[in-house]
Structure 1
């Protein structure tokens, strides 16, 4: 059972930082490469860039919750929620983020 996990390409769990502008403020996010890949996929489904998607998600979670304690963790959970959907029924992440 563990072979599925331990044989993962190490590049997938290597962290990478990206600088982006969220609500006019330049910030840096550090995520594992696999999460950057998933966010890129979701952005493509939504017809936007990864940075645009991340900015939109930040605005939506702030509107909904009023704060976000750990935005990187929010993004990881959002990616997991996206992947948990059947592939033929995957909704754009902006809709997933609004579900309870």
Structure 2
């Protein structure tokens, strides 16, 4: 079967990875697909902060703008997508190497 333009990526990017992070002083685990961790890591690099500090900032902003959060990881995914679409905060998809193996659990 021929590869399509929509599914031309390594399945490793869809593999979930659980990562322990401290969000505003509270230790928690987030389970996201590898592609989202790579996007988060790139945004954190661009902002010169750790992944935990970046997610903490997002959590505070979500608390300030949303009434109730039922799916925090869903909001994280949406933030990642909106950042990819944001012209003021470009993320090169070339940095997301489709041939690289996923990071080990941290």
User: TM-score, normalised to structure 1's length?
Assistant: 0.78
2:79 is matched with 78
Structure 2 residue 12 is matched with structure 1 residue 7: no
Q: Which whole-Å CA distance do the structure 1 matches of 2:89 and 2:23 have between them?
A: 25
Q: Which whole-Å CA distance do the structure 2 matches of 1:53 and 1:18 have between them?
A: 14
SS at match of 1:79: helix
CA deviation map 1:26-54 (0-9, x unaligned): 11100000000001111111110111100
| Pairwise CA distance, 1:6 | 2.2
Provide the aligned length of Structure 1 versus Structure 2.
Answer: 88
Contact 1:14 1:33 in 2 (8 A): yes
Structure having greater relative contact order (Cα 8 Å, sep ≥ 6): 2
| Pairwise CA distance, 1:66 | 4.4
- RMSD across aligned positions (CA): 1.7
Note the residue ranges of structure 1 that are not aligned, 5 or more in a row.
92-100
After superposing on structure 2, the runs of 4+ consecutive aligned residues of structure 1 that deviate more than 3 Å are: none
User: TM-score, normalised to structure 2's length?
Assistant: 0.74
2:101 is matched with none
